[in-house]
Amino acid sequence: MTRWARRPEGSNWGEFGEDDQLGRLNLITAERRLAAVSEVREGIAFPLSLPLDFPKGEYAAGPRKQPVLASTALGHNHRFLPSVPDVVSDDYVVLHLQYSTQWDSFAHHGAVFDLDGAGEPAVCYYNGYRADVDVIGDPQGSIPPHADALGIETMAQTGMQGRGVLVDLQRAVGRDRVAVGHDQLTEIMAAQDVTVEPGDILCLHTGLTEVMLEVGDELTHETLDQCAVLDSQDDRLLQWITDSGVSAIVADNLAVEPFSLDPAPGANSVLPLHTHCLFKQGIPLGEMWYLADLARWLRAHGRSRFLLTAPPLRLPGAVGSPVSGVATV
């Protein structure tokens, strides 16, 4: 391989091609997309995004900020020709791309790894793409960032359409904070008669974005500690993700897994599932999706599968994007 001499343990680098930037999205073939379309039987569509100014309350004081709308020079209710009654309004927005319902691209989360085997670890990303070469930016933010590889536009160009499969964690464990590991996840899937096949997009309903809508401005940091997460300390769960063939993982919680700035004892990442999925396996992560209405409908109709269409913005160089996905049943 030209980009790396060693790949991280548990990674699939190179298996989709030396220059691959799509990872497990390669598993969404035309045949898998047709299988997804065959899940459309009622013609009912479910929007899967929060309003993009949610979450509110204490979350809004964090490093990611709510969208700020403003008018372009054309303004609002602007009458651009005195001879005709036409008026126009025209906006722009300052948008933190990962404030609300979002996709994470592979350029969002990398690791320090000795990919040359020369004893000099470098900052790198999925398939050995490198910081400063392929993913440009610096910790001080003095260089304009630009993901020349692995960015969100690469994901957008696939259309991000396939078969969604929903596991209803809230139905199994309520709104308590439970870290769901391999055994519990597979038990819940068996109880709900849910199976995943290679190429499927795994969607985890925990209930957290519904809580965000319910509490609005009253949201506190404790609110965000409600509802289930995947137990990313469970190596068997990470191996199940590898073996399952899922092409992407989506959740309605903050980060799919717990997020703490204190690594667990013995852990070499604060976000092991991000490392496993985005860095090692090329599995995009969706976070803070709104899955409650879809989950209720699927439960009432004894179903778990649907057509999912959820392209991110085709925004060159960006590492993440808001997404207004649609599930069709």
227 binds ligand UVW per the rule CB under 6 A: no
* Cβ partners under 8 Å of residue 266, min gap 6: none
* Least distance from ligand UVW to the Cβ atom of residue 269, Å: 10
* Least distance from ligand UVW to the Cβ atom of residue 25, Å: 17
Report d(CA 219, CA 56) in Å as an integer.
6
Nearer to ligand UVW, 105 or 192 (CB): 105
| Segment interacting with ligand UVW (CB under 6 A) among 102-110, 111-119, 186-194, 225-233 | 102-110
Applying CB under 6 A, which of residues 134, 210, 252, 287 lies at the interface with ligand UVW? Answer: 287
Nearer to ligand UVW, 163 or 205 (CB): 205
* Least distance from ligand UVW to the Cβ atom of residue 320, Å: 7
Report d(CA 167, CA 203) in Å as an integer.
6
Please state the separation of Cα 327 from the chain's center in Å.
15
Would you put residue 302 in left (φ > 0), alpha (ψ -120 to 50) or beta?
Answer: left
Three-class SS state of 278:
helix
161 binds ligand UVW per the rule CB under 6 A: no
Applying CB under 6 A, which of residues 238, 255, 295, 313 lies at the interface with ligand UVW? Answer: 255
The token pair at 306 is 């649907």
Please state the separation of Cα 299 from the chain's center in Å.
23
| Segment interacting with ligand UVW (CB under 6 A) among 12-20, 104-112, 242-250, 260-268 | 104-112
* Least distance from ligand UVW to the Cβ atom of residue 270, Å: 9
98 binds ligand UVW per the rule CB under 6 A: yes
Please state the separation of Cα 41 from the chain's center in Å.
27
* Least distance from ligand UVW to the Cβ atom of residue 47, Å: 21
Contact 156, 311 (CB under 8 A): yes
Q: Which is it for strands 320-322 and 305-309: parallel, antiparallel or unpaired? A: unpaired
104 binds ligand UVW per the rule CB under 6 A: yes
User: With contacts defined by CB under 6 A, how many residues of the chain interact with ligand UVW?
Assistant: 9
Binding to ligand UVW (CB under 6 A) within 262-281 occurs at: 271, 274
* Least distance from ligand UVW to the Cβ atom of residue 271, Å: 6
Q: Which is it for strands 248-251 and 305-309: parallel, antiparallel or unpaired? A: unpaired
Nearer to ligand UVW, 106 or 306 (CB): 106
| Segment interacting with ligand UVW (CB under 6 A) among 73-81, 101-109, 131-139, 217-225 | 101-109
* Least distance from ligand UVW to the Cβ atom of residue 101, Å: 11
Strands, sheet with 201-205, edge to edge from the N-terminal-most edge strand: 45-47, 326-328, 305-309, 161-168, 201-205, 248-251, 285-287, 102-104, 320-322
* In the complex, residue closest to ligand UVW by CB: 255
39 binds ligand UVW per the rule CB under 6 A: no
Report the alpha-carbon angle 322-327-329, nearest 5: 175
Give me the helix-helix angle, 182-191 and 235-244, nearest 10°: 50
Query: Which residues lie near ligand UVW (CB under 6 A)?
Result: 98, 104, 108-109, 254-255, 271, 274, 287
